Structure 1
């Protein structure tokens, strides 16, 4: 079971909204870098790093489609 990065978010709030939508659809996911982005939020902007939404590789396309369809305007860019 390999997890891959679906999206790098601007902040933890955005990441948790996306995580909630994915979990509601039965997609296993977690937020990587959640705590460090809370400690150093300015680094998210400066370095372009932030919390990452990680999904199982087998769910990537379903998750991508779900976000693009249901969260239009809330998600800027997916990582793949």
Structure 2
């Protein structure tokens, strides 16, 4: 399974609402660099990445569009 990053942020909390919405729609989400940014939050180069399976990408794009409308 290959993962695709759909959103990045320096603050994990910025991604939690979207992660919750996607999981409520049955889409499995993964947080990349989640713990690295907590430990090394003084380095601006580290971002948390919200990732989904490439096979779910089309459904994710539909949900993101609905959320932005």
Q: TM-score, normalised by structure 1?
A: 0.71
User: Following TM superposition, by how much is the alpha carbon of 1:68 offset from its aligned partner in structure 2, in angstroms?
Assistant: 3.1
User: Following TM superposition, by how much is the alpha carbon of 1:22 offset from its aligned partner in structure 2, in angstroms?
Assistant: 0.5
TM superposition outliers: structure 1 runs of 4+ over 2 Å: 40-43
Q: Secondary structure at the match of 2:50?
A: strand
Aligned to 1:69: 66
Unpaired runs of 5+ in structure 2? none
Aligned to 1:18: 18
8 Å CA contact 2:10–2:37 kept in 1: the answer is no
Task: Give the RMSD, CA atoms, in angstroms.
Answer: 1.6
Alignment of 1:1-80 (within 5 A): 1-43=1-43, 46-47=44-45, 49-70=46-67, 72=68
Q: 1:26-47: CA deviations, max 9, x gaps?
A: 111111100111122242xx32
Unpaired runs of 5+ in structure 1? 73-80
Q: Secondary structure at the match of 1:11?
A: coil
More strand by share: 2
